Structure formats: structure tokens, C-alpha cells
Amino acid sequence: MLRILCFVVATVASSMTFADVSAVYGFDDRSEEQRYQNLIAELRCPKCQNQNIADSNSPISKDMRNAVYQMMLEGASDQEIVDSLVGRFGEFVKYKPDLDSRTFMLWATPAIAVLGGLIVVVGIVVRSRRTGTAAPTLSAEEQARIDKMLAEKNRNGSA
Amino acid sequence: MKRFLLFLPLLAAIIVGVVLFAGIGKDPTKLDSALIGKPVPAFSLRDLKQPETTLDEAVFRGEITLLNVWGTWCPSCRDEHDDLMWLAREKKVSIIGLNYKDNRDDALVWLDRLGDPYSKVIYDPKGTLGFDLGVYGAPETFVIDASGVVRYRHVGVVNGDVWERVLLPVINDARENG
């Protein structure tokens, strides 16, 4: 009996941590809840910077989560929800900023770095190929000299 | 070609230096308002001092005003209060208050005890207008021009220095290009 009771208590206690979100915000189906989780994970808290609004406990994050939830209930699309928050708090609240003239370098830097690396690698390969193929081209005269030298060396060595 | 390559690290160091130098002194916790150049969002909220009166965005029409977001729970608001008093009294600045996520009784006691620099105070206990304005931490002070358009937002305490260096130039600009 005691064992069963322990089991029940443990089960209930372990499910309590998961119940937190749905206790505050009820969703009709799993996919909606997943959508909500994705949205609040990619929105950034303006007050406690470098935290998303899912992680942050600040009052403004709470307001923003609430706004996201309300807009979802009203049937807004992800884009509309993000745009509405950007309209209030600025581009800052997006962890993935749009590509425009200000953020161009931000997006382009990885591509530039990869391109630069490729150029260096190609340069090294081409140069080593060039020196590699240059070595064995000998004129007939040089070849004759080498043959002679090798022949001499072999004779001396065996003697 | 070889010699040019020798200068590459120097060139890279200069570029990185310029980029990093541009970031020095910038406070990343102070964000530009997303509402600059846009009208104050529509609202309909009670007047703190006259609970029967409803205020809307029309209160910002007619003259350049400062919109100061405050609350009795906010220690920095206490810090700047004397400076707001000075602005209202000495500089004849029109300041409208936004009492943000506060309760009326506390707010009225505060104004009674510390003085009232505000021509009007909008009472926003749920923070709805604050949210629409993108307020993320009181105190914040907005410069609103005579046609009700947001010109600037200052995050943090207003004092004599901020007034001279930051707010006054914006107000002068709003006056000239109003």
C-alpha cells in the first residue's frame, strides 16, 4: 500500500513541472502549444538582454508572453505576432533580424569568411600543384647526367 | 605579391579595431524606440488626478510635451522626480505623466508628498499603453511633438545633464521642423 502511495506521489510530483505552462495558458491542441513555445523561444526580452521571453521572468517578458497568447487566440499568424511586437519594441526583440542594409554585414560575414578560407585553400592547392609538376621535367641532357651519376654510385656501392 | 601578404595581418587588425572601437561607449541596454516618427498609439485611459475623466491620444496635440513613464514602485523614478520638478518649474516644460502599473492611492500620495510636475497624469494600472509604447523599464521619457508624433525616447533617469545634452536638442529640432 505504502509503495503504491509513494509511486502516486512521485508520478504526480514529476508531472507538476510540465504542468506550469498549460496551467497559465490553455491550448486546444499540441501543435498550437508547440507554436507558442517556438514563438516565445525566438523573441528576445528587451529588459533582460540575452534571454528569450520564454526564459525570462521579468514583468515585460510576462506581458509579451501574454500578448503572444492573446494574439494566437485571435488567430494571428506567426508573422503578424512578431511584427506587432517589433512595432512596439523594435527589431531588437527578434533573435533572427531581417536582411536589410543595416544587418547586411551581420548576415554576410560568415559567407565572406568561408569564401576567404576557400580562396586561401585553393591558392595553396594550385601553388603546390604547380611546383609539384615543375620538378620532374628535365631536359634530355640533364637526364643523361643523372643516369650517369646513378650508374657511378651503384658501381661504387657494390664494390 | 609576397610583400603585400605580409601586411594582411595589420590590415585585419585595423579593420577589427575600427569595428570594435565603434562599439565602445555604446550602452546596449538602451534601445531606440520603435515608435520614433510615429504617432502616439491610440488609448483611452483614466486621468490619475481626476478619476472621472478619460484621456486619449489627443492630450499630446498642440504643444511639445515630455511623456514621463513612472511608478511609485520604481526607485529611479524617485531619483529623477526633483529634476522633473525643476524642468516643470524653471524650464516651463509641459510634462505628461504615465503612471505605469501602479495603484492610484500610492501614486496620489507620492505626488502630494514630492510635488507634482505633471500637467496631466494618465493612469495605466495594467500597463496597456506602456506596452503599446514599448516601455520595458521605468523611468522612460518620450519627447512628443505638437502633432502628437514621438520624436525621441530616453531610457533611464532624466537630470540636468540629460536635459541639456539629449532632450533639449530634440525639442529644439521639433520646434524648428514642427
pLDDT grade for B86, boundaries at 50, 70 and 90: very high
3-state SS assignment for residue B7: coil
What single DSSP character describes residue B141? E
Range of A28-32, A126-130, B43-47 with top mean pLDDT: B43-47
Which of A43, A49, A50, A63 is the best residue to mutate to test the B interface, defined by the most B CB atoms within 10 Å of its own CB?
A63
> Is 80 exceeded by the pLDDT of residue B14?
yes
pLDDT at A132: 64
Straight-line distance from the first to the last Cα atom of chain B, in angstroms, rounded to the nearest whole number: 58
Q: Out of A49, A59, A88, whose CB is closest to B134?
A: A88
- The pTM (predicted TM-score) of the whole model is 0.73
pLDDT at B109: 95
What single DSSP character describes residue B138? S
pLDDT at A15: 55
| Average pLDDT score over residue span B139-146 | 94
Segment (H or E) for B162? helix B160-162
pLDDT grade for B110, boundaries at 50, 70 and 90: very high
Say yes or no for a CB contact (<8 Å) between B101 and A59.
Answer: yes
CB B42 within 8 A of CB B59: no
Tens-digit pLDDT profile for residues A51-90: 899 888 888 999 999 999 999 999 889 999 999 999 999 8
Least confident stretch, A27-41, B37-51, B86-100:
A27-41
pLDDT grade for A134, boundaries at 50, 70 and 90: low
Query: Any CB–CB contact under 8 A between A48 and chain B?
Result: no
Q: In angstroms, rounded to a whole number, what is the distance separating the alpha carbons of residues B98 and B140?
A: 10
In the structure grid, which three cell numbers stand for residue A18, read together?
Answer: 510540465
Q: In angstroms, rounded to a whole number, what is the distance separating the alpha carbons of residues B97 and B79?
A: 15
Domain boundaries, chain A: 20-93, 104-158
Give the β-pairing of B44-47 and B120-124.
antiparallel
Query: Any CB–CB contact under 8 A between B125 and chain A?
Result: no
Kindly state whether residue B10 falls inside one of the protein's structural domains: no
| Nearest CA-CA partner of A88 in B151, B99, B170, B136 | B136
| Average pLDDT score over residue span B119-124 | 94
Q: What residue of B is the nearest CA neighbor of A66?
A: B131
> Is 80 exceeded by the pLDDT of residue A32?
yes
- For chain A, give the percent of residues with pLDDT over 70: 81
The mean pLDDT of chain B is 91
Kindly state whether residue B11 falls inside one of the protein's structural domains: no
pLDDT at A22: 45
Tens-digit pLDDT profile for residues A12-30: 565 554 444 444 677 878 8
Q: In angstroms, rounded to a whole number, what is the distance separating the alpha carbons of residues A117 and B159?
A: 51
Domain boundaries, position B143: 27-176
Q: Out of A49, A88, A90, whose CB is closest to B29?
A: A49
Number of domains in chain B: 1
| Average pLDDT score over residue span B70-77 | 94
Residue B91: CB atoms within 10 Å:
13
In chain B, residues with a C-beta closer than 8 Å to the C-beta of A47 are 136-137
> Is 60 exceeded by the pLDDT of residue A93?
yes
The second-level CATH assignment, the architecture, of A20-93 is Orthogonal Bundle (1.10)
Give the β-pairing of B94-100 and B120-124.
parallel
In chain B, residues with a C-beta closer than 8 Å to the C-beta of A89 are 31, 34, 134, 136
Segment (H or E) for A147? helix A140-158
Q: What residue of B is the nearest CA neighbor of A58?
A: B136
Kindly state whether residue B168 falls inside one of the protein's structural domains: yes
CB B133 within 8 A of CB A46: no
pLDDT grade for B31, boundaries at 50, 70 and 90: confident
| CATH assignment of the domain containing B59 | 3.40.30.10
pLDDT at A18: 47
The alpha carbon of residue B90 is apart from the nearest alpha carbon of chain A, in Å, by: 33
ipTM value, please give it.
0.79
Q: At CA B162, angle to CA B159 and CA B167, rounded to 5?
A: 115
CB A46 within 8 A of CB B31: yes
pLDDT grade for B178, boundaries at 50, 70 and 90: low
| Average pLDDT score over residue span B137-144 | 91
Q: Would you say how long chain A is, in residues?
A: 159
| Nearest CA-CA partner of B55 in B66, B65, B43, B40 | B43
Kindly state whether residue B126 falls inside one of the protein's structural domains: yes
> Is 90 exceeded by the pLDDT of residue A155?
no
CB B168 within 8 A of CB B91: no
The mean pLDDT of chain A is 82
The alpha carbon of residue A84 is apart from the nearest alpha carbon of chain B, in Å, by: 9
- Give the strands of the sheet with B94-100, arranged side by side: B54-56, B44-47, B120-124, B94-100, B65-70, B140-144, B150-155
> Is 70 exceeded by the pLDDT of residue B84?
yes
In chain A, residues with a C-beta closer than 8 Å to the C-beta of B133 are 88
Size of interface A-B (CB pairs under 8 A): 33
